[in-house]
Every structure is written in C-alpha cells, then in structure tokens.
Structure 1
Amino acid sequence: MGSADPPLGGSWSSAVARVPIASGVAVRIFDLFDPKRNGVIDFGEFVRSLNIFHPDTPEAEKITFAFKLMILEELAA
C-alpha cells in the first residue's frame, strides 16, 4: 500500500481529504460519480460515470459533464 492508500476500514474520501492539492478536484469528481449522494460509489455508478469518457459518448454529454464539474468547483469556492 502506498502512503496515499486509506488504512483498512478507512474511507476514500477521508484519504483524499489528507491530500491538500488534489482534494478539491477529487472531491468534485467523487460527487459527480455519486449521484445518490450517499458517500459511496457503487459499481453501477462507477461504470455509468466512466462511460462519459468512452469515445462513442456524444460530445454533448461530455460537455455537460465538464460544466457540472465547473459548477461544483464554483460552489466549493
């Protein structure tokens, strides 16, 4: 395990919170991958979220994802 890996029984979000430079971006991406807003990304949410990066995904969906990320960034500021 690397130093950035959460300890056994720890959560990903608490591990990311200890990384000051990346934490803001990582938390915003986590929020986009967690549409249920329950603090957990289940396998279905993970797969659906990764689909945005597939080459056959329409450009409009990719743009929507980028704007959602930007809006979350503005709300966090």
Structure 2
Amino acid sequence: MLASIRPILLGGAALALLMGWALFFRHRATACDMAEPCARTGPSWHTPGLLGLGTALVGLALAWEPYLEPVVLKAMR
C-alpha cells in the first residue's frame, strides 16, 4: 500500500530535510548581530546530528531498491 506512494513520501522527506538544513545554516549565520556581543544562541550539536541522520536515512531509502536490495538478497541465498 505504501509502496505506491513511496516517491511522494521520499520527495516530502527530502524537501523537509532541505528546509531543515536551510533554516539551520540561516539561523547559524544570523546568530551574531553587530550591535550586541556575540552570544551562543545557535542550535546545539543535536540539530546537525539529527539532520545528518535523517539525510543518511533518506539517502539509504533512495538507494535501497535499485542498488542495495539485489546485493542483500543475493547474499541471503
């Protein structure tokens, strides 16, 4: 059932990750203003870590069917 909408789900996940990375780098660049002293108000290390994990999982999902699944099925025989 979900296999029929797999491209839509992967596209939505990729778009959400792209927006997350864009907001992360945008917030990071504007964290220090010239008028005030620079304080560490940016996101913690959890944000890029979780975004990186999500990116890796979406990349794995994109590569699974055409590249990885035949190798795994062949190794299981």
- For the criterion TM > 0.5, the same-fold answer is no
Q: If the length of structure 2 is used for normalisation, what is the TM-score?
A: 0.37
Higher Rg of the two aligned structures: 2
TM-score (norm 1): 0.37
Larger RCO (alpha carbons 8 Å, 6+ apart): 2
Q: Which has the higher helix share?
A: 2
